[in-house]
Amino acid sequence: MRRFVVIVLAVSLLGALTTWFIPAQAQQPAAPPSWKQGQPAELAGSPLAPIAQPPAPLPAAEIPVNKLKVPPGFKIELWASGINNARAMTWGDKGTLFVSSRVAGNVYAVVDKGGSREVKTIAKGLNLPNGVAFKDGTLYIAEVSKISKMEGIESKLDSPPQMVTVFETLPKDLPHGWKYLAFGPDGKLYFNIGAPCNICLPPDTHANISRVNADGTGFEYYAHGVRNSVGFDWHPVTKELYFATHARDWLGEDVPSDRFDHAPRKGLHFGFPFCHQGDIPDPEFGKTRTCSEFAPPLIMTTSG
């Protein structure tokens, strides 16, 4: 009888503690989405927010090409249409234009038919396949956490080959997880690994530009403190890397500026999250660092 009473009392006490603990947990506010990180309290009601991807591409007749302005001596025209969520492009050896997407999850091949272009979907259902690069007959595709390749693709556009994994141990964070992908003059594949946030202190695995051999070996970090590079290329003579980077949000209407940077060698740090645009210490993470510690931007561009 005594054992029964003790058990009943223990169960009752556990139930009371559970009843108290669940409401306490329920009162914890949900973590904000990554794009709201760093938002000051006075802007908590701001209507600014990411814009959703349209469900389908605009018909050719509705694309306002005539409103685009180019310098004297240049012209702009519609070359191909009907490509859902087109992002990055790379040319094949036989004149095929390969086009990536992001949220659509597709990779396309655009074939010039002499006055008209045919769009073929060569891969579907991928995880933000933003990065594409081509070398020696092979198309390389970067998703959030892996890089794959399609060998001999230009001869198999109507029956694409199976994707073969090249490298698959990249972070799986979706914020800034999409990649830009390009071959450097050293024959290595370069790509960005963005910060998993608007503003935070990321682990060393994030906020960088990295590189790997074409066969997936030899992974290494090339540049650090790079919040989210959205494109890069190499000088044709010096072979040095130049890249663009998106800056953090919520510091002001027009600041900090996005950046255009120069990385002449491996190992430079470009400031994120401690310093923005080369001269603005972050109000949270820049208190113990100085902007002079980091590589300054080559050019500051309009923040968007």
| 77-111: pLDDT as tens digits | 999 999 999 999 999 999 999 999 999 999 999 99
At residue 253, the pLDDT reads 84
Provide mean pLDDT across the span 157-181. 97
At residue 53, the pLDDT reads 84
At residue 17, the pLDDT reads 40
- List of domains in the chain: 84-169 (2.40.10.500), 172-304 (2.120.10.30)
What share of the chain has pLDDT > 70, as a percent? 90
At residue 233, the pLDDT reads 98
Question: Is the pLDDT at 280 greater than 80, yes or no?
Answer: yes
At residue 26, the pLDDT reads 53
At residue 302, the pLDDT reads 73
At residue 278, the pLDDT reads 97
Question: Is the pLDDT at 1 greater than 50, yes or no?
Answer: no
Question: Is the pLDDT at 259 greater than 50, yes or no?
Answer: yes
Is the separation of the CB atoms in 268 and 224 below 8 Å?
Answer: yes
Provide mean pLDDT across the span 150-157. 98
At residue 31, the pLDDT reads 79
Contacts of 98 (CB under 8 A, 6+ apart): 89, 90, 91, 92, 107, 108, 109, 110, 122, 132, 134, 139, 153
The single residue listed with the structure tokens 């002001």 is 252
At residue 27, the pLDDT reads 61
| Residue 9 binned pLDDT confidence (cut-offs 50, 70, 90) | very low
How far is residue 14's CA from residue 8's CA, in Å, rounded to a whole number? 10
Rounded to two decimals, the pTM is: 0.89
Question: Is the pLDDT at 283 greater than 90, yes or no?
Answer: yes
Question: Is the pLDDT at 203 greater than 80, yes or no?
Answer: yes
At residue 88, the pLDDT reads 98
Question: Is the pLDDT at 227 greater than 90, yes or no?
Answer: yes
Question: Is the pLDDT at 22 greater than 90, yes or no?
Answer: no
Question: Is the pLDDT at 300 greater than 60, yes or no?
Answer: yes
The single residue listed with the structure tokens 């790509």 is 191
Question: Is the pLDDT at 266 greater than 70, yes or no?
Answer: yes
How far is residue 153's CA from residue 120's CA, in Å, rounded to a whole number? 12
At residue 115, the pLDDT reads 83
Provide mean pLDDT across the span 215-222. 98
Question: Is the pLDDT at 281 greater than 90, yes or no?
Answer: yes
Contacts of 226 (CB under 8 A, 6+ apart): 192, 207, 208, 209, 243, 245, 261, 270, 272
| Residue 301 binned pLDDT confidence (cut-offs 50, 70, 90) | confident
Nearest to 207 by CA among 240, 172, 245: 245
Provide mean pLDDT across the span 158-176. 97
